[in-house]
């Protein structure tokens, strides 16, 4: 039964990885394409390549996350059921939010799904609630809650610096430099996104391999990361334009200078979180908040706050829906296995 459930994990994880690439790539390419820093075709190719590279470079950090965040001890079938349920819940929610054009957090949803699934396991298995709640859930959850505020504030303040530097310069030269920096940011942000994606899915796969009793699960991660990179890169290659249209055209009116500020703030925070602090920052929340922060620091109204409130509703709904879905699916699977 363990091998059957492990196979099911692989079957569900494959489309989840593809949709993850599709869901996150707009965060790096929406503004550069909007301000004509890059053509759509070049932007998606650069983003897909650097996204895949970031996944490959994330192997050591994924192993560190696995050693730091120990999954609760439970029966192998139940642990695998939690993983299957969590991946199923996040896949369904990501597909739904993509077609709605909403830039929701995969990291936020995945953590909530794992928490919901493990809490459901308490009711059907020999698992103590105290063991689950004693795990360091608050560190990543607080990071996800605080990061949008930090991204908004950082981008808002950075506009003052950029405007002061550009003061007195020829507007055409300013726009040319800003577009050039945005072009660079596509690769940098995509690399940071890949690092984040590689960490989160490596943790899930390691939990599944360990629960299935696979000898030396760490040894399997090299080939697994290649598969991760291919699937996430393939998703990124298709651009995620439904979400990209919302970020670039329906959320804020933004010029090349402020677009450069938004993309720079996003890439900087992603690298600070993934490399410097090893924290699970959400690319979607960080990018959207930075875009709003940079776009709102202008002399005229530019932010579509109604659209932002709609996005915020999906942000709040993400952990609720994924946790509930994972809990229900865990209970259903436990009755079968």
pLDDT in tens, 21-39: 999 899 899 999 998 888 9
Residue 136 phi, psi dihedral angles, 5° rounding: -75, 60
- In the numeric block, which tokens belong to residue 299? 């002399």
Question: Taking all residues of the chain, what is their mean pLDDT, rounded to a whole number?
Answer: 84
- In the numeric block, which tokens belong to residue 165? 């530097």
Determine the Cα–Cα distance for residues 192 and 107; give it in Å rounded to an integer.
14
Does residue 301 carry a pLDDT above 70? no
Does residue 54 carry a pLDDT above 60? yes
What angle is formed at CA 251 by the lines to CA 195 and CA 249, rounded to 5 degrees?
90
pLDDT in tens, 207-253: 888 888 777 777 777 788 889 899 999 999 988 888 988 988 888 88
- In the numeric block, which tokens belong to residue 35? 């301000």
- In the numeric block, which tokens belong to residue 331? 């209970």
- pLDDT for position 311: 93
At 303 the three-state DSSP class reads: strand
Q: Tell me the CA distances in angstroms from 257 to 153, 224, 263, 285, 305, one per residue in order.
A: 17, 40, 10, 21, 21
pTM of the prediction? 0.89
Determine the Cα–Cα distance for residues 30 and 292; give it in Å rounded to an integer.
13
DSSP letters along 195-212, please?
HHHHHHHHHHHHHHHHHT
Sequence ranges of the domains in the chain: 2-336
The confidence band for 102, taking pLDDT boundaries of 50, 70 and 90, is very high
At 22 the three-state DSSP class reads: helix
């Amino acid at each position: 039964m363990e091998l059957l459930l492990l196979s099911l994990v692989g079957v569900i994880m494959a489309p989840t990885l593809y949709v993850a690439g599709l869901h996150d790539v707009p965060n790096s390419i929406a503004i550069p394409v909007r301000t004509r820093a890059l053509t759509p075709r070049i932007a998606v190719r650069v983003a897909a390549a650097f996204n895949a590279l970031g996944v490959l470079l994330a192997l050591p950090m994924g192993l560190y996350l696995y050693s730091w965040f120990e999954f609760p001890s439970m029966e192998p079938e139940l642990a695998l059921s939690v993983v299957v349920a969590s991946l199923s819940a996040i896949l369904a929610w990501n597909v739904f939010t993509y077609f709605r054009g909403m830039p929701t957090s995969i990291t936020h949803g995945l953590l909530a799904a794992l928490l919901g699934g493990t809490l459901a396991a308490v009711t059907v298995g020999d698992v103590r609630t105290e063991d689950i709640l004693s795990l360091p859930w608050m560190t990543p959850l607080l990071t996800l809650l605080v990061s949008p505020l930090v991204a908004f504030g950082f981008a808002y303040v950075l506009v003052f610096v950029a405007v002061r530097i550009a003061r007195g310069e020829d507007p055409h030269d300013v726009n040319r430099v800003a577009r050039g920096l945005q072009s660079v940011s596509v690769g940098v942000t995509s690399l940071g996104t890949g690092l984040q994606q590689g960490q989160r899915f490596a943790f899930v796969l390691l939990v599944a391999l360990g629960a299935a009793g696979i000898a030396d699960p760490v040894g399997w991660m090299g080939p697994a990361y290649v598969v991760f990179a291919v699937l996430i890169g393939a998703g990124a290659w298709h651009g995620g334009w439904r979400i990209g249209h919302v970020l670039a055209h329906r959320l804020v009116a933004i010029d090349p200078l402020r677009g450069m500020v938004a993309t720079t703030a996003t890439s900087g925070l992603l690298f600070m979180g993934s490399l410097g602090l090893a924290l699970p920052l959400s690319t979607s929340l960080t990018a959207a908040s930075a875009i709003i922060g940079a776009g709102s620091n202008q002399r005229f109204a530019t932010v579509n706050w109604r659209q932002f409130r709609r996005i915020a509703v999906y942000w709040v709904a993400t952990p609720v829906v994924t946790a509930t879905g994972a809990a229900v699916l865990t209970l259903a699977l436990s009755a079968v296995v």
